[in-house]
Chains A and B, each alone.
Chain A
Amino acid sequence: MSVRVLKPGPLSSLQDLGRTGYQRFGVIVSGVMDEWSHRVANLLAGNLDDQATIEITLMGPSLVFEAPALIAICGADLSPRIGETPVPQCRPILVRAGSQLDFGRRAFGCRAYLAVHGGFAVAPVMGSRSTYLRAGFGGFEGRALRKGDLLEVGDGNPQEQFPALARRLGSGGDAFAGVPEDAFEPIAHPAIAPRALRTVAGQQWDAFTGEAQERFLDAEFRVNANSDRMGYRLEGPGLALRSPLEMISEGVAFGTVQVPPDGNPIVLMADRQTAGGYPKIAAVASVDLPLIAQAVPQQGLRFARVSLEQAQRLYLERELAIERIRRSIDSLRGAQ
């Protein structure tokens, strides 16, 4: 079974949960920007949560499924449709062989994740299927998808995951069959209700002026158009240090908020470098990273402060919530 790319969209690439264990060689982690959407899409498609999905940016591709496929789309709502029928987000969808998936208007968010049952079967490089775009390895031939690409899908049994879907698709003339909305608790993206991004203090928090600390937690910052998978560049009232700081390069993490000399903060994202030398004013709590990953240029963002204890408790609660989603999908398998 394979998926054919008719039109790639501006930036669609294969990503999983990242290439960990190689940062000490200078190899960046890469991986999905929005871990929540990627993981939930995989679970809905009957996959493990670290299988590769297509990360779709702002505008969707056009794809053809060469055989019946069980798919799920989470994250940004880019108005997916098969034929004239809208495809619901965040639900298992069984599509017929030969179906063409198109996208339309952006209704919400920045990045959508398409999971296909069986996962995309590209060879892992250094233990990961994530595309390292700048170095040109991993994912599909180390690059973003192009017109004409044929993506091999791993072994699976899409029709047996939710037998009722296969029966419904077999008996009717519909383009696809989805698990009905009332069959399980609706799964809402964490960014649906906008709010301030929760942060913990960075190592150099105390090196910033009192005014900078206040501004960071009070002001609104605007997403600069140069934001990308490496980092979100924000514009706002300048954040100044008490006195110049001679920093030596050291490790940084997903969500690190660093401030270069121009005073505009940068939130480091999936394609961040392994080390950096700018002062770290804060770090975005992992549970709120999907909110940034879905933010688009010109959007306003605000920051709030939580303790490390709160951030890690929120993190562990999020893991339990994803586990509950996994179990509710598992129990549907028999029922549907």
Chain B
Amino acid sequence: MEHGTGGNWRIDPVGDRCLMIEFGQRVDPQINQTVHAMADYLLEHPLPGVTDVVPAFTTVAVHYRPELIAAGDSTDTIPYRRLERAIEAILTRGVASTGRAARTVEIPVCYGGEFGPDLDEVATACGLTPGQVVELHGASDHMVYMLGFAPGFPYMGGLDPRLAMPRRSTPRVKIPAGTVAIAREQSAVYTLETPGGWNLIGRTPIELFTPHASSPTLLRPGDHVRFVPISQEQFGNWAERRP
């Protein structure tokens, strides 16, 4: 399947060692699919000198080493122009979808209490009971748009609009790994203890990032995620099973 990349993109420099391909300016599953089709293509057909291909919601950042971008017969142009031309040629031809099967991954979550200190506040702000928040969060079809912010940290769209909340005005200094959080119409799982401004509603006992594994992240872009509520006791048993 061809993605509609023809003409619907622009390329800009991000400093002198990175460029960005932009496919649109809104969070949209179709645009994001094109982003990942292009990123997958660049990973499977690596261009010389490219060191990192970083897909996000609507963009693919291409990091490169200018000294390794082959001059060919165009020694009068700078490395950026040469790489831009090579990428334009790919986009003009169009990129076939990699046909990655959409997976659904279940993530167990213990909601509320010390694991989700903002659950009650979210419920009040949305005019719901905490139970209804848990229900709507579990019933939402979350889709992974990108990994970023921290290793394996998934930015997921698809949250039920009734749970849409702004980010907290004062970010927290420390959020424990495994914390499940929401902001606007997005969900995420913190994978490292980091600062952050999202609303914390629960915690998962499973690890989303394992640095020494060949596939270091549990989730990949395009995955659908279903959050499954578990009790504090189930959480404890889960955590004990960890090596």
Residues of A bordering B, CB below 8 Å: 20-29, 125-126, 134-135, 137, 200, 202-203, 248-256, 273-275, 280, 283-286, 308-309, 311-313, 315-316, 319
A54 to chain B, nearest CB (A): 22
Cβ contact within 8 Å between B194 and A251: no
List of A residues within 8 angstroms of B67 by Cβ: 315-316, 319
CB closest chain-B residue, reference A27: B151
List of A residues within 8 angstroms of B55 by Cβ: 24
Given known A-B contacts A24-B53, A24-B54, A249 and B15 have beta carbons under 8 A apart = no
Given known A-B contacts A249-B56, A251-B59, A21 and B16 have beta carbons under 8 A apart = no
B48 to chain A, nearest CB (A): 14
B28 to chain A, nearest CB (A): 10
List of B residues within 8 angstroms of A27 by Cβ: 151, 211, 216
Is B39 an interface residue when CB atoms closer than 8 A count as contact?
yes
Given known A-B contacts A250-B57, A308-B78, A309-B78, A25 and B147 have beta carbons under 8 A apart = yes
Q: Which of B149-187 contact A (CB under 8 A)?
A: 149-153, 155
Cβ contact within 8 Å between A312 and B16: yes
Cα–Cα distance between A21 and B53 once the two chains are bound (Å): 7
Cβ contact within 8 Å between B152 and A25: yes
Q: Which of B3-35 contact A (CB under 8 A)?
A: 12-18, 20, 22, 25-27
Cα–Cα distance between A121 and B67 once the two chains are bound (Å): 28
Cβ contact within 8 Å between A23 and B63: yes
List of A residues within 8 angstroms of B52 by Cβ: 20-24, 29
Cβ contact within 8 Å between A26 and B13: no
Q: Which of B209-232 contact A (CB under 8 A)?
A: 209, 211-212, 216-217
Is B38 an interface residue when CB atoms closer than 8 A count as contact?
no
Cα–Cα distance between A280 and B20 once the two chains are bound (Å): 13
List of B residues within 8 angstroms of A21 by Cβ: 51-52
Out of A135, A202, A248, which one reaches B57, CB within 8 Å? A248
17 pairs, CB–CB < 8 Å, chain A vs chain B: A26-B150, A27-B211, A28-B151, A125-B211, A248-B58, A249-B57, A250-B20, A250-B22, A251-B60, A251-B61, A251-B63, A252-B14, A256-B15, A274-B54, A275-B149, A286-B17, A308-B78
A231 to chain B, nearest CB (A): 13
CB closest chain-A residue, reference B14: A253
List of B residues within 8 angstroms of A253 by Cβ: 14-15, 17-18, 61, 63
Is B66 an interface residue when CB atoms closer than 8 A count as contact?
yes
Is B143 an interface residue when CB atoms closer than 8 A count as contact?
no
Out of A24, A134, A202, which one reaches B192, CB within 8 Å? A134
Cβ contact within 8 Å between B58 and A24: no
Cβ contact within 8 Å between A275 and B54: yes
Cβ contact within 8 Å between B151 and A25: yes
Given known A-B contacts A26-B147, A275-B149, A248 and B15 have beta carbons under 8 A apart = no
Cβ contact within 8 Å between A286 and B54: no
Is B199 an interface residue when CB atoms closer than 8 A count as contact?
no
6 tightest CB-CB pairs across the interface, nearest first?
A251-B61, A283-B15, A275-B148, A253-B18, A311-B16, A20-B51
Cβ contact within 8 Å between A254 and B78: no
Out of B14, B15, B209, B212, which one reaches A125, CB within 8 Å? B212
Cα–Cα distance between A222 and B43 once the two chains are bound (Å): 40
Main SS of chain B's interface residues? mixed
List of B residues within 8 angstroms of A251 by Cβ: 14, 18, 20, 54, 56, 59-61, 63
Cα–Cα distance between A200 and B51 once the two chains are bound (Å): 21
Cβ contact within 8 Å between A26 and B63: no
Cβ contact within 8 Å between B15 and A255: yes
Is B205 an interface residue when CB atoms closer than 8 A count as contact?
no
Is B138 an interface residue when CB atoms closer than 8 A count as contact?
no
B62 to chain A, nearest CB (A): 8
A137 to chain B, nearest CB (A): 5
Given known A-B contacts A308-B80, A312-B66, A316-B67, A24 and B39 have beta carbons under 8 A apart = yes
15 A-B pairs besides A25-B209, A26-B147, A134-B150 with CB distance below 8 A are A24-B53, A24-B147, A25-B152, A25-B216, A26-B217, A27-B151, A134-B194, A250-B20, A250-B56, A251-B20, A256-B14, A280-B14, A283-B14, A286-B16, A319-B67
Cα–Cα distance between A311 and B188 once the two chains are bound (Å): 38
CB closest chain-A residue, reference B152: A26
Cα–Cα distance between A283 and B61 once the two chains are bound (Å): 15
Out of B39, B56, B79, B192, which one reaches A275, CB within 8 Å? B56
Is B204 an interface residue when CB atoms closer than 8 A count as contact?
no
B78 to chain A, nearest CB (A): 4
Cα–Cα distance between A256 and B66 once the two chains are bound (Å): 17
List of A residues within 8 angstroms of B26 by Cβ: 248
B144 to chain A, nearest CB (A): 11
Cβ contact within 8 Å between B148 and A254: no
Given known A-B contacts A26-B151, A284-B15, A250 and B61 have beta carbons under 8 A apart = yes
